[in-house]
Amino acid sequence: MASFSSLFLSFFVCVLLCLFGSQATEARKINPISHLVSKELFDSIFIHKDNDACPAKGFYTYDSFIQATRCFPKFGNIGSLITRKREVAAFLAQISHETTGGWPTAPDGPYAWGLCFKEEVSPQSNYCDSTNTQWPCVPGKSYKGRGPIQLSWNYNYGPAGKALGFDGLNKPETVSNNSLIAFKTGLWFWMTVQKPKPSCHDVMVGKYVPTEADLAANRTAGYGLVTNIINGGLECGIAGDGRVNDRIGYFQRYAKLFNVDTGPNLDCENQKSF
């Protein structure tokens, strides 16, 4: 388990990024995401996130999202305006699927109900990988899906907590109790390389360089590869998987709102998982 000093150092580094990270990017913006995603656009994307039917009502605020992005100055800030918009749209689409409260005949359509949940309902286990000794599970704690990306498993909670300054192993529930940390965990997962997987960020901004294994597995760049990174073991390599189609539906809706195209390779039907 990480020491208090290492956790504090990681938290301090994140705070420095929040305060000064945007100054290290091009001078075109103090906070690039607030220029790409206004409060009005955010509200038009997440029409029903504060509906009474959503357990996460009032949790996922615009201010928390914008503040969280300050710790990740490269998010939505690499490449052309189209590339930057497409990355943000892709991120918001993926977290929308992970937290969806939509259904086929839902008001405003099935893709207007993102960010409806802040933690997994009826988890099948406590998501403890007992073989992982680097990030050992704490007895009695559940590492079920929480937050916008539905962070899961001890081997994700541990390093996310270390990077972001909270005790992910002892207090995983922090992710569903703190809106800012919740968004940070989603962005942490999006931006972090976890070999052999590339980061979702690198894929969406064109920095993904496939290995021989990737080429053999047909892991081509595009939104489908992002889905593979997030949940490929359960969703990829399957013809017409409904979960994959839901992710795509959200992305297509959001891309239109951002006035960009989605790019190629939207699904991972012909990809092998990592």
Q: In angstroms, what CA-CA distances link 240 with 175, 219, 236, 244, 269?
A: 32, 17, 10, 8, 7
Nearest one of 194, 113, 108 to 151, comparing CA atoms: 194
119 included as an active-site residue: no
Q: Which is catalytic among the residues 26, 40, 87, 98? A: 98
Residue 230: burial class (beta carbons within 10 Å; 0-12, 13-18, 19+): buried
The 3 state secondary structure assigned to 158-213 is HHHHHHHCCCCCCCHHHHHCCHHHHHHHHHHHHHCCECCECCHHHHHCCCCCCCHH
Burial of residue 269, with CB atoms counted within 10 A of its CB: 0-12 exposed, 13-18 middle, 19 or more buried: middle
DSSP alpha helices (H): ranges in 37-145?
39-45, 62-69, 81-98
- Nearest one of 146, 187, 148 to 168, comparing CA atoms: 146
- Nearest C-alpha neighbor of 72 from the set 113, 31, 128: 31
Tally helices (H) and strands (E) across the chain.
11, 0
In angstroms, the Cα distances linking 218 to 168, 195, 267 are: 34, 17, 12
| Catalytic residue numbers, as ranges | 98
